[in-house]
Amino acid sequence: MDTDDSEHPADRSGSSDDDESSTEDRSSGDLSTVNEGTQSTLDTESDASEADTTLDSESGSQSIEEMLLEFDEQEGLIRERTLLDPNYVVEEDRIVGRDDQLQEVTKMLRVALGDNRPPNLFLYGPSGTGKSLITKAVCKNISQICEPRDIRFGTIEVNCQDLDTLGVAVYELVSRAADEAGVEVQVPKHGVATKEKWDELFRIVDENFDSLVFVLDELDMLVGRRDKQDPAFSRLLYQLSRAGADGELETFISVVAISNDTKMMESVGSRALSSFTPEDVHFGDYDANQLQAILRRRQDAFYDDVLDDDVIPLAAAFAAQTHGDARKAIDLMRVAGELAEREGDPRVNEAHVREAQDKVEKNRVLEVVRGISTQKKLCLYATAAVAAESNSGAARSTTGYKVYQFLTDSIDADQYHQETYVNKMKELTTYSLVDFERRSHGPSSGMFLEFQFGESPATILETLREDSRIEMVSQDEVASVVQAQIRNEG
């Protein structure tokens, strides 16, 4: 399947060293030397290789070596790949449209420069709206100012998405803190109580930092295995913010919690809330104009004049269609560039962006879909099938459930009640793939949820059909069941 980014020739060449060599290739005659050298080696090869060459020319296909050399000869289009890397912290002059948030976060965290503890922060808003970027940019600047002043300032960043328990999360903080301080961790990763990990964390913090900011990205994903009333993120916030407020440590500690889930704070227990009490900073969606501005400030990632005029407006428009996600806009521009390079085109054009849109969407859907259970896949498939056929592009939960019943019957799978189906669909909203609103048919009839998709329902269906059980069900039959159900909606 052509969804793995590592298949890009650009990724294969990978490092900036390769980028430099492609710069040289643009102007120098070095390549002919390489070709000549290779040719003479080829000439002394055995008859077998001659036979291969004959075969190649007869079939018209290229040998591997010819293809490699052709790629080597090809001019790259991307000059500065890091500018298209979502984890790279760009310079301040490339940050666009976030003046308010930049000011707010700076004003609050700059307290670290004096002899005070900065407040805790809660940054919330959809993914790709600059929450991590702004935090990292401000912390980087504080750190630069602190250095000559002999203030030992540190930033410990963790993404909680892949941390499944509190113990794992605390160990991750320990190891990041040790890295930042340049010291050894003195507690084992496994087989000790979480309390010992906390003690080690605070030992490292106390001995090595005057002021420390913990940045907890995607914090709401750290649910843990215990009861849902007291999720792991709530316990993490409690311990960290209490350590910050208690005055037991010499270090000034501040916690920046980042989440896509605006309601996350509602799940933070009262105990944690009493010490966490953050200042909220909201990050809204970008519109297409802001996304264009963000992309224009990075267009020097490409060589001069290799981007067609409509590339940036189209990538921005595609990204604005979902929810104004800058990561997606940047991804689209990068993938479009890589596709053009791979195809040996001299410029990046609109068609590359459209192809990139398809690929980026599929990658995102795949990422989500790979990890979910068959039952969730069936719920998602049924709902996306309704959205794909309906005029509004949305799906009612009541209709989706009927289609789900048809699917589970067809493949003889267990069948959830409607309430569980709805809950499974709600759980899928955390991936920004689907969203919902509560609606009703009218004052006298019942409520239902209406699901809207962040990615095209057709892409979701196509990806889900890669599951052999779902593939067994005829697409035509599903479509006719969906149409019949939509007609019944009234």
Ligand X SMILES: Nc1ncnc2c1ncn2[C@@H]1O[C@H](COP(=O)(O)OP(=O)(O)OP(=O)(O)O)[C@@H](O)[C@H]1O
Q: Name the residues that contact ligand X, by CB under 6 A.
A: 86, 90, 94-98, 127-133, 217, 260, 283, 294, 326-327, 330
- Structure tokens, 250: 């010499």
Q: Where are the alpha helices (DSSP H) in 147-269?
A: 166-181, 194-208, 232-246
Closest by CA to 328, choosing from 353, 303, 306, is: 353
> How is residue 469 written in tokens?
């059980």
Smallest gap, in angstroms, from Cβ of residue 455 to ligand X? 15
DSSP-assigned beta bridge partners for residue 123: 258, 281
Report the residue number, 187 or 312, with the smaller CB distance to ligand X: 312
The single-letter code of the amino acid at 485 is Q
Instruction: Check the annotation: does 359 bind a ligand.
Output: no
How far is Cα 77 from Cα 338, in angstroms, rounded to an integer? Answer: 8
Token pair in block for residue 224: 């843990």
The dihedrals phi and psi of 70, each to the nearest 5 degrees, come to -65, -40
Q: 93 — phi, psi (to 5°)?
A: -70, -5
Q: How far is the CB of 86 from ligand X (least distance, A)?
A: 4
Least distance between ligand X and beta carbon 41 (Å): 44
Are residues 318 and 353 in contact, defined by beta-carbon separation less than 8 angstroms?
yes
Task: Report, in Å, the least distance between residue 162 CB and ligand X.
Answer: 13
> How is residue 225 annotated by DSSP?
S
Coil, helix or strand at residue 44: coil
The terminus-to-terminus CA distance of the chain in angstroms comes to 41
Cβ distance 79 to 23 under 8 Å? Answer: yes
Q: Is 439 annotated as a binding residue?
A: no
Is 344 part of any known ligand binding site? no
Give 271 or 282: the residue with its C-beta nearer to ligand X: 282
Residue among 290 and 349 whose Cβ is closer to ligand X:
290
130 is an annotated ligand-binding site residue: yes
Q: How far is the CB of 335 from ligand X (least distance, A)?
A: 14
The CA distance from 178 to 317, in Å, is 43
- Check whether 133 is labelled as a binding-site residue: yes
Q: How far is the CB of 283 from ligand X (least distance, A)?
A: 6
Q: Which is nearer to ligand X, 96 or 169 (CB)?
A: 96
When the beta carbons of 133 and 403 are compared against ligand X, the nearer one is: 133
CA–CA gap between residue 173 and residue 240 (Å, rounded): 11
Decide whether 124 or 238 has the Cβ nearer to ligand X.
124
Instruction: Supply the DSSP string of 106-146, one letter for each residue.
Output: HHHHGGGGTTSPPPPEEEE-STTSSHHHHHHHHHHHHHHHH
CB of 9 to ligand X, least distance (A): 23
If you compute the radius of gyration of the chain from its CA atoms, what whole number of angstroms results? 27
Q: Which CB, 131 or 359, lies closer to ligand X?
A: 131
Binding site, by residue number, is 129-133, 286, 298
Binding site for ATP, by residue number, is 129-133, 286, 298
